[in-house]
Amino acid sequence: MSYDENNIFAKILRGEAPAHVVEEDSVSLTFMDLMPQSEGHTLIIPKEPARDILHVSTEALGHIIRQTQRVAKAVDEAFHPDGVMIAQLNRAPAGQTVFHLHFHVIPRWSGEAMPFMAREMAEPNILKENAEKIRKYLKNLD
């Protein structure tokens, strides 16, 4: 299947849709999930148009993996979860709903239900605060 230039992440990259950006560089964009599975749920995407992990350059993928690790460390410091889940889904049967490669960093706490998909959008002010918390710890990693 071909890449859909009108997917929501492509629109975010072009500035046509809003996002609570945590960090941006020449290869990737890190931002808060609008429908988080838990507080601090963050997404990392390549700027390269790639439908999934099977269609991204190895250079961009390497960068995205390193960024995912950085974000996981920052989320761990910012929110002190009991665990941190990293998720990456490819194609609809695997659960992919936005067809632009992305990695989820999802903090988890013991005893908390683990929904596969969130059902509600988060409050924008909470997403903004969470982005600031994570950004603070990312700066400490550099």
Per-residue tens of pLDDT for the chain, all 142 residues: 799 999 999 999 999 999 999 999 999 999 999 999 999 999 999 999 999 999 999 999 999 999 999 999 999 999 999 999 999 999 999 999 999 999 999 999 999 887 666 667 889 999 999 999 999 989 888 7
- Told to judge if 100 belongs to the known catalytic residues of this protein, a careful annotator would answer no
pTM for the predicted model, two decimal places: 0.92
Domain 8-141 has CATH 3.30.428.10: yes
Which one from 41, 63, 102, 104 is the annotated catalytic residue?
A: 102
Task: List the one residue out of 31, 68, 27 whose CA is nearest residue 50.
Answer: 27
The span from the CA of 57 to the CA of 37, in Å, is 29
Contact of 103 with 64, CB cutoff 8 Å: yes
Q: Are 84 and 107 in contact (CB under 8 A)?
A: yes
Per DSSP, the three-state class of 17 is coil
